[in-house]
């Protein structure tokens, strides 16, 4: 699958229209004859879920072709997986409704929709436990290699919260006594808690998938500029192993492009001088590249940036000053490609990334960093989706007890 092959991003407004039509159809069927029309309602809901599932998958593919580095990519993949799980359950329930309409009624459809968040959490519990274990182990490894920093401890805290959430929802799902109002409030609290975890779990899974695709993607060999994103250097001013991996990945790509197409590219070494660094990271990268046989005239230094967003913004300025924009790629560590691409798009630069390999224990922690970073962006869109989920589960809970 190639990136940047579409000029328009996909839209899913049709899903809202379809949902309204299905709700109206279900309401009419229930009003006419709830018992007789129950199998028809089951079939209608199953078909609707399948159509939306296909629309989400198609939107994901088109979004990747338009712009992989996007919140929409995460959303489409995360909720497509959720809908797939719910659709399979709905299809099975519909079969039972057709076979035994006396036992399986329209109430079961409502019950399944109401418990969709809880069911998804319970069915994906093995993944959550495995990811939490991997996250815990990776953060312990990071602490051993990088020391006790807050960002490394956050992963350990999150791993406990993920497991605790699964346990709490499991216990709440099976223990409820008291009056009808008390049971309703119990179910409302359980469903809302499940909705919170459902949203974050879908986003986390979406990030893992999107980051994996971004890390494995090999850009087309037609680039004019290649940005190398900086990171820490050694005390003597030479690149750290992590930074050297990014440089070597960029050089290998440039050599392959030259061999396949005969086209040279310009490197942009991007990274300022940190408080404990003897020279700017960009200078350290340039010296290393010259030692590897890269001509100085093919290297542009960007030595002012202090983070990934500034890497992209200041590198774009250098590229425009050198006669760009042209076709741009960037090289970074594999787990960092997706977030770097997000930063490139934020400064309105179309660039595709390539990832250098790194240690395994960076990946779970990297997924969490991407996840936390995502929560600070697109607040309006997230509030709309999350708020819609809350309204959906509250309305279903109240409807179920009427």
Q: 142 pLDDT exceeds 70?
A: yes
3-15 confidence digits (pLDDT tens): 777 778 888 889 9
Q: What is the mean pLDDT of residues 153-163?
A: 84
Structural domains in the chain? 1-114 (no CATH), 120-216+361-402 (no CATH), 225-358 (3.40.50.620)
Share of the chain above pLDDT 90, in %: 46
45-60 confidence digits (pLDDT tens): 999 999 999 999 999 9
The set of residues, in sequence order, having a beta carbon less than 8 Å from that of 141 and lying 6+ positions away, is: 359, 361
- pTM, rounded to two decimals: 0.85
> What is the DSSP code string of 180-199?
HHHHHHHHHHHHHHHHHHHH
- Rg, the chain, Cα only: 25
Distance CA 92, CA 276 (A): 61
Distance CA 281, CA 270 (A): 7
Q: What is the mean pLDDT of residues 294-298?
A: 94
pLDDT for the residue numbered 249: 96
With residues binned 3-state (H G I as helix, E B as strand, rest as coil), the percentages for the chain, rounded to 5, are: 70, 5, 25
pLDDT for the residue numbered 251: 97
pLDDT for the residue numbered 262: 94
Q: What is the mean pLDDT of residues 346-375?
A: 81
The set of residues, in sequence order, having a beta carbon less than 8 Å from that of 77 and lying 6+ positions away, is: 60, 205, 206, 209, 210
Higher pLDDT, 143 or 341: 341
């Amino acid at each position: 699958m190639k990136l940047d092959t579409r000029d328009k991003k996909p839209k899913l407004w049709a899903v809202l229209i379809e949902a309204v039509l299905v709700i109206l159809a279900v309401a009419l069927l229930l009003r006419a004859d709830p018992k007789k029309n129950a199998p028809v309602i089951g079939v209608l809901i199953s078909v609707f879920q399948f159509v939306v599932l296909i629309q989400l998958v198609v939107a994901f593919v088109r979004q990747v072709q338009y712009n992989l580095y996007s919140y929409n990519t995460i959303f489409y993949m995360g909720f497509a997986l959720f809908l797939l799980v719910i659709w399979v359950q709905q299809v099975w329930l519909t079969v039972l409704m057709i076979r035994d309409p006396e036992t399986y009624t329209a109430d079961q459809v409502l019950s399944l929709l109401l418990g969709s968040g809880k069911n998804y959490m319970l069915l994906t519990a093995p993944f959550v436990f495995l990811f939490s274990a991997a996250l815990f182990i990776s953060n312990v490894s990071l602490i051993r290699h990088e020391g006790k920093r807050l960002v490394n401890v956050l992963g350990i805290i999150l791993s406990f919260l993920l497991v605790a959430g699964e346990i709490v929802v499991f216990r709440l799902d099976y223990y409820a006594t008291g009056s009808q109002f008390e049971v309703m409030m119990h179910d409302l609290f359980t469903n809302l808690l499940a909705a919170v975890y459902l949203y974050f779990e879908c986003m986390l899974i979406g990030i893992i998938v999107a980051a994996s695709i971004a890390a494995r993607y090999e850009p087309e060999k037609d680039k004019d500029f290649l940005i190398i994103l900086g990171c820490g250097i050694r005390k003597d001013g030479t690149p750290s192993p992590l930074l050297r991996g990014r440089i070597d990945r960029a050089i290998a790509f440039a050599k392959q492009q030259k061999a396949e197409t005969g086209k040279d590219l310009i490197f942009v070494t991007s990274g300022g001088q940190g408080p404990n660094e003897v020279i700017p990271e960009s200078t350290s990268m340039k010296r290393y590249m010259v030692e590897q046989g890269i001509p100085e005239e093919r290297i542009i230094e960007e030595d002012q940036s202090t983070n990934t967003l500034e890497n992209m913004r200041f590198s774009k300025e250098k590229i425009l000053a050198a006669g760009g924009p042209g076709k741009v790629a960037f090289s970074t560590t594999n787990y960092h490609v997706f977030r770097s691409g997000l930063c490139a798009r934020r400064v309105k630069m179309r660039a595709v990334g390539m990832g250098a390999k790194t240690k395994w224990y960076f990946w779970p922690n990297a997924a969490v960093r991407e996840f936390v970073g995502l929560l600070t962006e697109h607040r309006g869109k997230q509030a709309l989706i999350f708020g819609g989920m809350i309204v959906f589960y509250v309305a279903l809970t109240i409807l179920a007890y009427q």
